[in-house]
Amino acid sequence: MRIAIVHYHLKRGGVTRVIESTLRGFETLPTPPQCVVLAGEVPEDFGAPPQARRVEGLHYSNAQAATPDSRTLVGRLRAAAREVLGGDPDLWHIHNHSLGKNSAMPGVVAELAESGEALLLQLHDFAEDGRPQNFRLNQQRTESADYLYPDSGNVHYGCINARDHSIFQAAGIHPDRLHLLANPVEAQPLSETADTAEILKTLDAERLFLYPVRAVRRKNFGEMLLWAARAEPGDVFATTLGPTNQNYVAAYENWQAFAKNHQLPVRFGIGEQHAWPFETMMQSAHAILSTSIAEGFGLAFLEPWLFGKAICGRDLPAITADFKAQGVELGNLYQNLPVPAEWIDQNQLRTAITEGLIQAYGTYARPLPADAVARALDAIHPTPDSIDFGGLNETLQQQVIEHLLINPSAKSELPRLHTASETGQIESNIEQIQRCYSLAPYAENLYRIYQSIPAGAGEATQYLQPGKILDGFLQPERFRLLRT
């Protein structure tokens, strides 16, 4: 079977990691498919260079002088695939076609679909999910603006979590053409000689709570600082990477200054400031922390266990429900962090949410529901007298933390961070993760999906009604100030 895997670039990142893991996973199959990876940029450090080809015009539209028309780009993709495969692909596996990164991609997918090509469209992220500029780029070319999501027998969809799967099913994609395709999770080799003592000494930590992420607003660093304000002597909280997106630099620097001014036991960007291997940083931690308010696949909830570490912090049930259903125990996580409502300026909160909702709906050219503000506020009230800390913006979060620091006795009004994990639980989670999410079962599942997709289905290509997927994501209950 000949497969063409398509993505905009192969730079370090989540999708590139999935593609590399996919290729390694295929090597475990009795008869691996023949693959080519097509991308607009192929760095030298990509893990499978003989199988990769750069295709002019496939990169992000804002990263190239001009984006070709769809027909031209399809021709280039076909030519590059034939060069490596020795013939036309039996199936095209395209990642994030609808993300709004390349203005030609909606037309590329529509042309391939209407030509009867077998397509697997794997969806990691969405222009409809808080990315209005991306959404507008998908509308840029009127000839393909309404043809973003083809719906025909030769086109199948791969969703990385049950939330996205349910949105597409509700939008009308037939269940037989809709697959839950969780990302593979590779076990990490643990070093018995890792110098974890050096890390703890350098950070002046007896217990390290590591938050191994790059700084973006939705990672909710304020919640990490809240836990740091309640830390025991010797506890240190640390992040690994600073922002690369300039839109997040100001918020990141603001938290750095806030932590310094209030002498909180927090270290930022330790992975950039020191030449410590990622594996050693993970092994040095007492526990791995996550306070993120939004994720895609949710690797952060699985990977720590493969390092022998428990994860603590915020749960995201729409993401973790898949893992729990497979027997992964995540009992240390909380679904919300209730803060007494009287600690928060209610007028300031309502104003911020009102303005944020008006902007969010306006950028998608959608009317704001009359009850949108009430629904958004209800969603961040665990009880009538409390507000979820993750529903606040940075300014309000800082006010809460300062209230705690000025009134130490108020700490008793908040829940505690649960970090304990028995060895048996760690071993059990490792076993379940390897059983369900390691390379071999991932590759087997993906290959079965490939084989289930027919080419040339012989039916006219239909398309989802425009806006159906947006309806699934743009809901007041999902609105959070940290995602604006």
| Residue (of 401, 181, 383) closest to 297 by Cα position | 181
With tokens 């000689």, the residue in question is: 193
37 and 142 inside one domain: yes
- For helices 221-229 and 394-406, what crossing angle results, to 10°? 0
Q: From the centroid of its chain, how far is CA 424? A: 29
Please tell me the total count of domains within the chain: 3
pLDDT tens, N- to C-terminus, the chain (484 residues): 999 999 999 988 889 999 999 999 999 999 999 999 999 999 988 877 788 999 999 999 999 999 999 999 999 999 999 999 999 999 999 999 999 999 999 999 999 999 999 999 999 999 999 899 999 999 888 888 899 999 999 999 999 999 999 999 999 999 999 999 999 998 777 776 668 999 999 999 999 999 999 999 999 999 999 999 999 999 999 999 999 888 899 999 999 999 999 999 999 999 999 999 999 999 999 999 999 999 999 999 999 999 999 999 999 999 999 999 999 999 999 999 999 999 999 999 999 999 999 999 999 999 999 999 999 999 999 999 999 999 999 999 999 999 999 999 999 999 999 987 777 899 999 999 999 999 999 999 999 999 999 987 567 899 999 899 999 999 999 999 999 8
- For 453, the token pair is 């997709």
Q: Are residues 22 and 110 in the same domain?
A: yes
Q: Is position 375 within any domain?
A: yes
Nearest to 204 by CA among 239, 252, 241, 238: 238
Residues 150 and 139 in one domain: yes
Residues 431, 442, single domain; the answer is no
Is residue 75 in some structural domain? yes
Residues 119 and 197 in one domain: no
Residue 458 counted as domain residue: no
| 392 and 268 in a common domain | no
User: Is 113 among the domain residues?
Assistant: yes
Q: Is 398 part of a structural domain of the chain?
A: yes
Q: Which domain holds residue 345?
A: 338-414+473-484
Is 444 found in the same domain as 433? no
pLDDT of residue 33: 96
Q: Print burial letters for 451-473: b (CB count within 10 Å at least 16), e (below 16).
A: eebebeeeeebebbeebbbbebb
Domain assignment of residue 467, yes or no: no
10 Å CB burial of residue 245 (0-12, 13-18, 19+) is exposed
Which CA distances in Å does 322 have to 108, 297, 329, 369, 387?
A: 32, 10, 11, 31, 27
Tracing tokens 């390694």 back to the chain, one arrives at: 24
Tokens of 368: 């704001």
- 443 and 433 assigned to the same domain: no
Please indicate, yes or no, if residue 460 is contained in any of the structural domains. Answer: no
| Domain-embedded: residue 213 | yes
pTM for this model (two decimals): 0.92
Same domain? For 387 and 428 the reply is: no
One domain, residues 8 and 148 = yes
Q: Which amino acid makes up residue 374?
A: A
Residues 179 and 211 reside in one and the same domain: no
Same domain for 226 and 158, yes or no, is no
For residue 307, give the CATH number of its domain.
3.40.50.2000
